[in-house]
Amino acid sequence: MDPNRTEGSALSALWMVLASFLFATMAVGVKSAALSFTIFEIIFYRGLVSVAFMAVVVRARGASLRTPVPIMHLTRSAIGVLSLSSWFYAIAHLPVATAMTLNYMSGVWLAAFILGGALLYGQPQKQGPLMLTVLVGFVGVVMTLRPTIDHDQLFAGLIGLLSGVGAALAYMQVTALGKVGEPEERTVFYFSVGTSLVGAVGMVFTPATPWSAVHWQDAAWLIPIGVLASLGQWAMTRAYRKGATLVVASMQYWGIVFASLYSIWLFDDPIAPMAWAGICLIVASGVVSTILRTRAMPEAPAPGV
């Protein structure tokens, strides 16, 4: 075994753990900012800060923002913003760990999409393990949501599930962009532009939060949310570019661990034993489905969500 390759894979895994920590910390900021701002306002500021950050990255790398596939970026941004908006809504109305887990269902949804395609094209005999991971993932969802979501939180739980579906679709779009040669920083930049535009449009049609009603502790999170999101994307992209896809993708579930610790430490969110068991099932099904998915979509680039 090549020691340099082994060391590179280990370093890439650490980059992914760092990205997971940054995204979980961003979720804490979103939950705090949501006490004073609407979801569309948070989305707008997150996108605006990320646009500025990614513009600096693109310029520093001497890359160009001109793209030969603008429609693909438009489609990716539309799906990504839908997923992001749903996730932010779930974070604002659910325990951070629960919202994070539902969003990370994307790996299981991807497995479900691959399974559906295989069944559609008459290949059901090879899909037993994949079907099992999907079923285990959904059992984990039921176990996670049932003890932690009140009746008035059911809608937020469904929106959280939608964020996972959107993230899976966004992953597929980013994979397609990677195959046509689009660099990651350009993809992330246009996604950030789309995020800020959707946030701005949403602010026009929703009541604005008067600054007199804003607590400074909540407002202080607006810039860090965008910075943490950009740094998380950068760390994730670096991890996927340098390491083995399977190892890196498996490390993303550290985000659920970090989010669970934040839920207990900062928000005193109760997480019942059954919910912990459900989270473990989702993580396990996600890791196994990643192994199976890698055979169908080898060396896919990181999603810039």
**1 belongs to a structural domain:** no
| Higher per-residue confidence, 285 vs 52 | 52
- The reported pLDDT for the residue numbered 125 is 53
Number of domains in the chain: 1
**Would residue 108 count as lying in a domain?**
yes
In a domain, 229, yes or no: yes
Q: What is the average pLDDT across 5-13?
A: 60
Of residues 243 and 162, more confidently modeled: 162
Residue span of the structural domain in which 243 resides: 10-296
How many CB atoms neighbour CB 93 within 10 A? Answer: 20
CB crowding 113-125: b at 16 or more within 10 Å, else e: bbbeebeeeeeee
Residue 3 lies in a domain: no
Residue type, position 24, single letter:
A
- The pLDDT, as a whole number, for residue 145 is 64
- pLDDT confidence bin for 180, thresholds 50/70/90: confident
Mean pLDDT of 169-196: 83
Can you tell me the distance from the alpha carbon of 146 to that of 152, in angstroms, rounded to the nearest whole number? 12
187: in domain: yes
pTM: 0.79
Can you tell me the distance from the alpha carbon of 93 to that of 40, in angstroms, rounded to the nearest whole number?
15
Q: Give pLDDT, residue 298.
A: 47
**pLDDT above 80 for 144:** no
> What pLDDT, on a 0 to 100 scale, did the predictor assign at position 221?
94
Q: Which residue has the higher pLDDT, 269 or 301?
A: 269
Contact assessment for residue 173 and residue 76, using Cβ atoms and an 8 Å cutoff: yes
Q: Residue 225: what pLDDT? A: 95
End-to-end CA distance of the chain: 34
Q: What is the pLDDT of residues 194-236, one digit of tens each?
A: 999 999 999 998 888 888 888 999 999 999 999 999 888 778 7
* pLDDT value of position 200: 94
Q: Where are the alpha helices (DSSP H) in the chain?
A: 3-33, 39-60, 70-93, 96-103, 106-120, 128-145, 154-179, 184-205, 216-219, 222-242, 245-251, 254-266, 273-296
Give the length of the chain.
305
Is 5 part of a structural domain of the chain?
no
Q: How would residue 303 be classed by pLDDT, with cut points 50, 70 and 90?
A: very low
pLDDT at 87: 92
Q: Is residue 22 part of a domain?
A: yes
Give the alpha-carbon dihedral of 210, 211, 216, 217, to 10 degrees: 30
**């993303």: which residue's tokens?**
252
Residue 167 pLDDT grade (very low, low, confident, very high; cuts 50, 70, 90): confident
Confidence category of residue 248, pLDDT binned at 50, 70, 90: low
With bands split at pLDDT 50, 70 and 90, how would you rate the model's confidence at 1? very low
Average pLDDT, the chain: 79
What is the per-residue pLDDT across 46-93, written as a single tens digit (0 to 9) for each?
999 999 988 888 888 888 888 899 999 899 889 989 999 999 999 998
Quick check: is 305 in a domain? no
Q: What is the pLDDT of residues 96-125, one digit of tens each?
A: 888 888 887 776 777 677 666 666 665 655
What is the CB neighbour count within 10 angstroms for residue 269?
Answer: 18
